Structure 1
Amino acid sequence: MMTVNEVSKLTGVSIRTLQYYDRIGLLKPTEYTGAGYRLYDDAGLEKLQQILLFKALEFPLKDIAAIVNSENFDKSKALEQQIELLTLKKEHIENLITLARGLKARGVRRLNFTAFDTKKLDEYSKRAKEQWGKTSQYKEFVDKSKNWTKDDEKTLMENLMQIFVRFGQLRDLDPASKEVQEQVKSYQNYITENMYTCTDEILLGLGKWLGGGGEVAENVDKECGEGTAEFAYQAIRIYCEK
């Protein structure tokens, strides 16, 4: 077993980041000591390697969590696809380096943007995510969203943000109060009706994203008032623990 401090020194991942991964359910410690310290075994370190490879490929943390925590996750297949993606990324970077060196040597004589084309990389990444995300919720989401337009996506996100606006308006109340708990239910129902079946377990996971800080929480607090994300998380936690 390794302590969180030892894992941090070994991997270069900060202790704060490892603590954050624990809070959002991305990488849970193997166990905790009696004093509450995090401990990681070899399986935990192997999972961290997978997470870091996906991060190097610029996958959002929410996508990484869905992939590595999927019951259908195939580590061997994932490595093959990661190698392919990293190779494509390396090729893309080398093309950019060649372009930059050419511009330095010759100046801008002919406008050439082919080195910036990431279609091949983007397409492979999309196909890989589809293979990694074969959960029932993912399939349901793909089915519901297959005919969405950009306007549909925009409307979905605007309506979702309005749910958090309401949380912001309620944040002076007790998160266990009936009105706040009804708002949590509205949030769960909205996800189920428009995206995928939102079980209490999934809802709690979404709540942890809100309560874990990061970009999602910052955006919610910016639009709905400071502390809204944490308040929504506390309300969701109470709702799911009933």
Structure 2
Amino acid sequence: MPEATGVDADGLTVGQVSARLGVTVRALHHWDEIGLARPSLRTAAGYRLYTAGDLERLHRIVVYRELGLGLDKIGAVLNDATADVPGALRAQQAQVAERIERLKQLGAGLDRMIDAHERGLLLSAQQQAAIFGPEWNPDWPAQARDRYGHTTQWQQYAERSAARGPEEWQAVTDAVAALDRVLADAMDAGVAPGSPEANRLVERHREVFASYFPLTRQMQVCLGRRYEADPGFAAHYDGIRPGLASWFRRIVDAGARAHGIDPDTATWQ
């Protein structure tokens, strides 16, 4: 910080002080208007001139302001000879420490968000296997990122993923597994597509799937198609109950029709 030295007997102009202390002319004018730092001299033409003493006060104002003190507090410290300057600075030091801690937490959160956007899952391969089962391929998140990373749904998924650790992901996995069992039991019980019970299951699927990203009914229709047509998905659902993938697509299609959506023309939107 520049020292308040080298001021000639005629004083310094506002522009000269601005350049010396790195303070805007507007700020100097404001401090003058509120009585925080008024120039002691004026030229015959009425221009402000700052003396060495003025510059020293301004120097202290700049330091205190950089430390985060408000202008009212700075004025109280400078104008009151009995003011507890160390106490005021210690209080500000505590606030700065709190702000630093908040910024560190924000930085850590940003790191997780960036990692989630780039990786999808913030879990080790061992954690993924323990949570998602031995059939899980730890390369799948990266493959999904390559395929869907440009989409809104991937961004929504990443934001949810950034806030989750192993316990949260275990809860999501348990909810999905529970839904799969309920769907299989409903199919075994002969629940018909379009029935109130089937429609409730369709809505439950949307709610559970929202753990990944919000799922519209049209998107759910597209997902139902994929569950039936994709060999990997079909194997998963038919491994729970033979024919479950096709039955699930039928209840989703029927639920969509009940909301005025034609399953044959539904698109991912």
TM-score above 0.5, yes or no: no
Greater relative CO (CA pairs within 8 A, separation 6+):
1
Range into which the TM-score falls when normalised by the shorter chain: 0.3 to 0.5
Larger Rg: 2
Between structures 1 and 2, the one with greater helix share? 1
